[in-house]
Chains A and B, each alone.
Chain A
């Protein structure tokens, strides 16, 4: 077995730097213990390492995405303590970004926990990226609030999200492109019904919040209609990349 070939095969599968050097050192030690050992073809060895590590790394990256988004949510709360009039789209970015992040993050977690094939892992990674983009939208919305606290919170949120994005990228490098199954793989044959019920619940909650907290039925209906429109737009724009629809 040639170590140059091994290094090339590892690199082609996203295993580089210190990890690749460690694998080489371990296999070299093995050959020193038993010079007759047959470790196999470099491509085969590299694929075994990638196959073993891609599931763990994808799950870890997805959990990391969730933690980053939770931190982002906490920062929104902290920034909210010093709320000042900002850009009119700031609020919209925070509300839309938070919902995208929550839905895509949950879907990423479900697929990462249930799936093991490269297609499943690729989709979990893609959903995590969309969730992080939602988080970035929230962080951008924070910047619309013209206060030092909100700038600091936005900067911290951006750093946390970037760290999660790097972890997701590392997992993606190990995962070859493959066909991705749709929502039925996550929720079974009743996936469209479950999705519809969840969407209707979200709209009902927004209507309830408008009626109770604003004391106006019209306000509730208007907010509910905006939420329903937002959800429909979300399904149209993100439905295919997230595999919510065929």
Chain B
């Protein structure tokens, strides 16, 4: 699936990926790929700027951790991020239900 198609949904998808627990950038991308069955294979450089923006908006927090002999930035959902994710889920269910009802 092309990155353009996902543009409006990428924030929600990244937040949902982190709902399971903290993860670093590579793990987020990998999890997106795994959960979508390979459909969301985004250009690898796309997700990091989104992570930075979500953090700047206060939906994510991050800190350095040591792993595999190197420093890595680990992201986690904030309380605001969790409530934003809930809102996005409700919105998506409404939208998907409406589209389903029209398309049949």
Task: Give Cα A32–Cα B67 distance, bound, in whole angstroms.
Answer: 11
Q: Are B44 and A39 in contact (CB under 8 A)?
A: yes
Interface residues on A, range: 20 to 34
Interface size on B, residues (CB 8 A): 20
User: A30-B44, A39-B44, A57-B56 given as contacts; is B49 within 8 A of A51 (CB)?
Assistant: yes
Task: Give Cα A45–Cα B72 distance, bound, in whole angstroms.
Answer: 19
Enumerate chain A residues within 8 angstroms of B49, measured Cβ to Cβ: 45, 48-49, 51-53
B69-89 CB contact bits vs A (8 Å, 1 = yes)?
011110000000000000000
Q: Are A25 and B71 in contact (CB under 8 A)?
A: yes
Q: Are A48 and B70 in contact (CB under 8 A)?
A: no
Chain A interface mostly: helix
Enumerate chain A residues within 8 angstroms of B95, measured Cβ to Cβ: none
Q: Are B73 and A39 in contact (CB under 8 A)?
A: no
Task: Give Cα A34–Cα B44 distance, bound, in whole angstroms.
Answer: 11
Measured between C-beta atoms, what is the minimum distance from A53 to chain B in Å? 6
Check B53 for interface membership: any CB of A closer than 8 A.
yes
Cβ contact of B44, chosen from A22, A38, A51, A57, cutoff 8 A: A38
Chain B stretch 32-55: residues in CB contact (< 8 A) with chain A: 43-46, 48-50, 52-53
A72-95 CB contact bits vs B (8 Å, 1 = yes)?
000000000000000000000000
Enumerate chain B residues within 8 angstroms of A26, measured Cβ to Cβ: 24-25, 48, 72-73
Check A44 for interface membership: any CB of B closer than 8 A.
yes
Q: Which residue of B lies closest to A25 (CB)?
A: B71
Cβ contact of B26, chosen from A25, A34, A56, cutoff 8 A: A34
User: A29-B24, A29-B26 given as contacts; is B48 within 8 A of A53 (CB)?
Assistant: no
Q: Are B53 and A40 in contact (CB under 8 A)?
A: no
Q: Are B48 and A29 in contact (CB under 8 A)?
A: no
Check A33 for interface membership: any CB of B closer than 8 A.
yes
Check A37 for interface membership: any CB of B closer than 8 A.
yes
Q: Are A32 and B70 in contact (CB under 8 A)?
A: yes
User: A34-B26, A56-B57, A57-B56 given as contacts; is B72 within 8 A of A27 (CB)?
Assistant: no
Enumerate chain A residues within 8 angstroms of B50, measured Cβ to Cβ: 52
Enumerate chain A residues within 8 angstroms of B25, measured Cβ to Cβ: 26, 29-30
Enumerate chain B residues within 8 angstroms of A57, measured Cβ to Cβ: 56
Q: Are B71 and A29 in contact (CB under 8 A)?
A: yes
Q: List 7 A-B contacts (CB under 8 A).
A: A26-B48, A26-B72, A27-B48, A29-B25, A45-B49, A52-B50, A53-B52
Chain A contacts to B: CB under 8 angstroms: 22-23, 25-30, 32-34, 37-40, 44-45, 48-49, 51-53, 55-57, 60
Chain B contacts to A: CB under 8 angstroms: 24-26, 29, 43-46, 48-50, 52-53, 56-57, 68, 70-73
